[in-house]
Structure 1
Amino acid sequence: MNLKSHLIFTLYTIYGILLKGISGQHPLVQNVTVTEGGTANMTCRVEYNDNTSLQWSNPAQQTLFFGDKKALRDNRIELMHASWSELTISITDVTLTDEGMYTCSLFTMPVRTAKAYLTVLGVPEKPEIDGLTKPAMEGDHITLTCMTQGSKPAADLRWFRNEKEVKGAKEVNASGKTFTVRSSLQLHVDRNDDGVAYTCKVDHVALSQTPQQATEVLEVHYAPRVQIINSLAVPQEGQYLKLECVSKGNPSPDPVMWTKDGGELPDLDRMIVEGRELTFTSLNKTDNGTYRCEAGNHLGTSSAEYVLYVYDVPTTLPPSTTPPLHPIPPDPTALLGTHASDPTVTGSRDPNALGQRGTDHALIGGVVAVVVFVTLCSIIVLGRYLARHKGTYLTNEAKGADDAPDADTAIINAEGNHAHAEEKKEYFI
């Protein structure tokens, strides 16, 4: 290789090294996202550096750090790491005003820069629910409104009735860099809403770990509804009976009032009233009648009636004009003709006795039917036999008696000739 060729090769080698160094001296940065109030770490790196300084600048082009030298007096900004290949700074207690484009500069000839965008998420405030009337009245129309402020980007609001999600109407308004979000829920209040919890939840990227929510429990006042529950399906003489007046209302309708046939209870020794219960210690026929339970609050009054018919134990149960709340099963003892004096009747009843008696009746009925059928068949056969042998039979005397003076002559005349007349004569001793 001559001197000229060696010189050209050396120049190309130096040029390649310079190009590689220049390309390796380009700063590298990344965008950063941080929640308001958090800490942002900004890092700038270079792969090759010939002792050239690195610098960070804020969106207002103010120098924050030049190498390891702090240029801006802000106690929130601190140096994390400084070398020829890296410059890392931190910004604590980040606010929305810190958001923007940050620049890392490498002071080569020419100066090389890289830009990183700092995104600050606005944390939505805890939501508040307005429009709730305590207490609400059954039939009211109310509007619940949930509002949250300070979110960036705009938050999402969701409504829940107990654990089930319900849909509301959303409204978003910008306020500077943040958003105010409202959601309304229309309700037609009834008694089923009493005690129901309505919850408003805030969904936002800045609340992935600790979601915000607010809950209000509805209190609904409504008029009472009354129902009477009896302890016996078939009340009989001498039995113990309890009637319970079940009333549901808000405020609670307490106490309740019991009456019989529109008047006061007649026998307070056997009819005991305790709270909502009316107890008969020993039933008799004088207890028959219509019992009424009445309860009320400031929104109204409700009542229910129970027709009591006390049955005789040994007799078949007569139909009731007003059946009790539960179906009345048939009385097996009445069908079997049992008596109250029989200890097996008063102590316990055999549920299979009615079925056995029914089986015996069916057997007897079948036997009777067979007997009747056989008798009818015999009568028919005998009638047909007699019909076939029916006719008029005349004696010999009758056949020739028209012109005969005596019996012997009649017999001879009946034969139509006088031959052997002597042989046909009848003699009587």
Structure 2
Amino acid sequence: MNLKSHLIFTLYTVYGILLKVMASKGKVRGISGQYPLVQNVTVTEGGTANMTCRVEYNDNTSLQWSNPAQQTLFFGDKKALRDNRIELVRASWAELTISISDVTLSDEGMYTCSLFTMPVRTAKAYLTVLGVPQKPEIDGFTKPAVEGDHITLTCMTHGSKPAADLRWFRNEKEVKGAKEVNASGKTFTVRSSLQLHVDRNDDGVAYTCKVDHVALTQTPQQATEVLEVHYAPRVEIVHSPAVPQEGQYLKLECVSKGNPSPDPVMWTKDGSELPDLDRMIVEGRDLTFTSLNKTDNGTYRCEATNHLGTSSAEYILYVYDPNALGQHGTDHALIGGVVAVVVFVTLCLIIVLGRYLARHKGTYLTNEAKGADDAPDADTAIINAEGNHAHAEEKKEYFI
């Protein structure tokens, strides 16, 4: 504090003492209901805080703002503390508003507005300063990683207040990490770790760490790293057309996936080099037959290699005679038609027989049932059965 500010502060202090003395003698009286009104303020570090003190009833008594160290900032419209960041916004009998620009964490604390009635009335407002988290950094990427490796990704941000929140995303899908918070003075250092068992599906995947914090009012800060994974190749052969015929064009495509890319690939026939390079053309990973014939029959093998391993696939080629293929097609169609007719006729017979039996179900009486109970022998039972219909209902047998 320079000499001028010190003198002003001393005068204000003396003025306050005099007011108290005069009040004790009855020469100064406060008005009932004169109370300063203030509000707590929250501001982001580096921003501007406006501190306002109002009073509803005032008999021209001065208002004063003091900082947490009890240093007078403004007494009425008079600036008491030499700080270029602190400016007067509005001063009247009813209001005293000041602004603090380029706010730092050290500005945080309890500010006091005083109304110099007798007795002096005060109100306190707390200035909260939010620490802005720094842009996160991601560590732990091994370039390249190898399929099967276990790696730990760590995201860290400094300077947040209160402690920031860190979130992990695998491409656009959120994944859970382990969070750790450490205090560094008034601010916090936050770490989040992510355990990965990498495979080929992680190759080219973007892992993003985002910072969420109340001080970041627009978009959260974030960092992104793309994971590169090396893995051994896998091979398959794709062919067209489905049924190769003599004279046709045929293309065999060796689809190999690996990192690093296994280029070039190797084509062989029956374990040896390709026999006819005029008709069998190798372009990149493709083997093309310009005009098929029976001599092309055999097993074709595609092999791909990188520094992590070798993979191969085989295709057995059989070239069909177009004429024979058409005849076989006709025979198959004929046989299929006959089978369909037989199945249809069988189903019709089953349905007709079922309906017939359903309509002609009934009962019959056996000779034994008609007279066996009362007759000493079979002949007598037969004779008695003719006149014993009255009890036949008790011994019926049914059929369908």
The TM tier, using the shorter chain, reads: 0.7 to 0.9
Segment drifting more, 227-236 vs 127-136: 227-236
How has the CA–CA distance of structure 1 residues 234 and 17 changed in structure 2, closer, same or farther, with 3 Å as cutoff? same
Compute the displacement of 1:85 (Å).
1.1
Distance 2:377 2:70 in 1: 176
**Following the alignment from structure 1 to structure 2, what is the Cα–Cα distance between the partners of residues 425 and 210?**
91
* Preserved CA contact (<8 Å) 1:24 1:46: no
Instruction: Give the Cα separation in 2 of the matches to 1:182 and 1:425.
Output: 91
Contiguous gaps of at least 5 residues in structure 2: 20-28
Cα distance in 2 for residues equivalent to 1:143 and 1:263: 47
Q: 1:238 to 1:424 in 2, by over 3 A?
A: closer
| Larger displacement relative to structure 2 (20-29 or 85-94) | 20-29
Q: Which residue of 2 aligns with 1:10?
A: 10
Alignment correspondent of 1:373: 344
- What do the CA deviations read for 1:207-254 (whole angstroms, capped 9, x no partner)? 121310000011111111111111122112222111111111111111
Per the alignment, do residues 136 and 79 of structure 1 end up closer, same or farther by CA in structure 2, a change over 3 Å counting?
same
Question: What is the DSSP-based 3-state SS (H/G/I as helix, E as strand, rest coil) of the residue aligned with 1:7?
Answer: helix
Contact between 1:37 and 1:92, CA under 8 Å: does it hold in 2?
yes
Question: Which residue number in structure 1 is paired with residue 215 of structure 2?
Answer: 206
Contact 1:57 1:103 in 2 (8 A): yes
Query: Is the 1:154–1:178 Cα contact (8 Å) retained in structure 2?
Result: yes
8 Å Cα contact 1:196/1:218 also seen in 2: yes
Cα displacement (A) at 1:15: 27
Secondary structure of residue in 1 paired with 2:394: coil
> How much does 1:2 deviate?
64
Q: Are the counterparts in 1 of residues 254 and 286 from structure 2 also a CA contact under 8 Å?
A: yes
1:412, 1:421 within 8 Å by CA — same for their partners in 2? no
User: Any residues of structure 2 matched to 1:33-182 within 5 Å, and which?
Assistant: 33-182=42-191
Residues 305, 16 of structure 1: CA spacing in aligned structure 2 closer, same or farther, 3 A cutoff?
closer
Change (3 A) 1:366 1:122: closer
RMSD: 17.7
Q: Residues of 2 paired with 1:362 and 1:162: CA distance?
A: 53
Shift of 1:23: 2.9
Describe the shift of the 1:287–1:391 C-alpha distance in structure 2 as closer, same or farther (beyond 3 A): closer
Question: SS at 1:16's partner residue?
Answer: helix
Unaligned runs of 5+ in 1: 312-349
For residues 153 and 51 of structure 1, the distance between their equivalents in structure 2, rounded to whole angstroms, comes to: 41
Runs of 4+ in 1 over 2 A off after TM superposition: 1-24, 350-429
Q: Check whether the contact 1:412–1:424 (CA below 8 A) recurs between aligned residues.
A: no
The one-character-per-residue Cα deviations of 1:360-382 (angstroms, maximum 9, x if unpaired) are: 99999999999999999999999
Q: CA deviation at 1:83?
A: 1.0
CA distance in 2, matches of 1:113, 1:376: 103
1:83 to 1:278, Cα distance in 2 relative to 1, 3 A: same
Deviations 1:32-76 (A, max 9, x none): 000000000001111111111110000000000111111111110
Percent identical across equivalent pairs? Answer: 94
The structure-2 alpha-carbon separation of the partners of 1:266 and 1:380, relative to structure 1 and needing over 3 Å to count, comes to: closer
Whichever of the two has the greater Rg, that structure is: 1
Question: CA separation of 1:290/1:22 partners in 2, compared to 1, >3 Å: closer, same or farther?
Answer: same
CA–CA separation in structure 2 for the residues paired with 1:116 and 1:283? 92
Matched residue, 1:382: 353
Q: Which moved more, 1:228-237 or 1:17-26?
A: 17-26
- Any conservation in 1 of the 2:365–2:395 contact (CA below 8 Å)? no
Distance 1:100 1:232, change over 3 A: same
Shift of 1:22: 2.2
Residues 402/8 of structure 1: CA separation in 2 closer, same or farther (3 Å cut): closer
Q: Is the contact between residue 411 and residue 424 of structure 1 (CA under 8 Å) also seen in structure 2?
A: no
Q: Which has the higher contact order (CA 8 A, sep 6+)?
A: 2
Quote the Cα distance in structure 2 between the aligned partners of 1:390 and 1:2.
125
Structure 1, 93-102 or 283-292: larger mean CA deviation: 283-292
Decide whether the 8 Å contact of 2:63 with 2:96 is kept in 1: yes
**Structure 1 residue matching 2:295: 3-state secondary structure:** helix
* Shift, 1:300, TM fit: 1.1
- The verdict on how the C-alpha distance between 1:52 and 1:288 changes in structure 2, with shifts beyond 3 A counting, is same
Q: Secondary structure at the match of 1:381?
A: helix
TM-score by length of 1: 0.69
Change (3 A) 1:368 1:43: closer
